[in-house]
Amino acid sequence: MAGGVLSGYKVAFLATDMVDRSELVEPWTALADADADVELVSIRSGRILLSPDDDEAETFPVDRSVTEVSPADYDALVLPGGVRNLDTLRTDEDAVEFVRHFFEAGKPVGAICHALWLLIEADVARGRTLTSWPSLRTDLLNAGAVWCDEQVIVDGNLVTSRKPDDVPAFTAEVVELFASRASAVAPGRGAWRQPTLCTEAR
């Protein structure tokens, strides 16, 4: 829709094979509906396989390879989950460096489920209040983060959530955060978001 709240705002999604379908498609659709320019960046060209894998395997087209793009070309980043997706991405140096850029540049990022592994690899979790799939809790604590068992956590330029069930809340906060950065001059927009208070910080 022309003239949407995110018109002209360029968002990269970083994913590869076996990315969680809901964690990719639902935020993608919401951002596109807000008129953001969304692109899927991956470690290879072609199409990636979505998870869960079944007899009717679904794929999603890659726009550009991570080696072909500059992270400076994007305003924001979304990192969907999926165990096999992230287990591959976190061992790819180009993917890790791509993620690190967004934090060093102070750009907004949304990460859900196992995507927090990439924040650990990029060494950007330290001092952050965040959440993730529960099995990442110890890894994130060891990386210097404050971990909370909450549906969605907003800490400055970072939105995190735990799992596919949290996708609606995650998507709403991602769109709100990205809109606040894109429309900083609008009333009530552009203020730095303080960390969500945890009921049980760890």
* Of 24, 113, 118, 143, catalytic: 113
46 HSE (CA, 13 A, CB side): 8
Which string of b and e fits 26-41 if b means at least 16 CB within 10 Å?
bbbebbeebbbebbbb
| Residue 113 annotated as catalytic | yes
Which string of b and e fits 77-103 if b means at least 16 CB within 10 Å?
bbbbbbebbbebbbebeebbebbbebb
| Residues assigned a catalytic role | 113
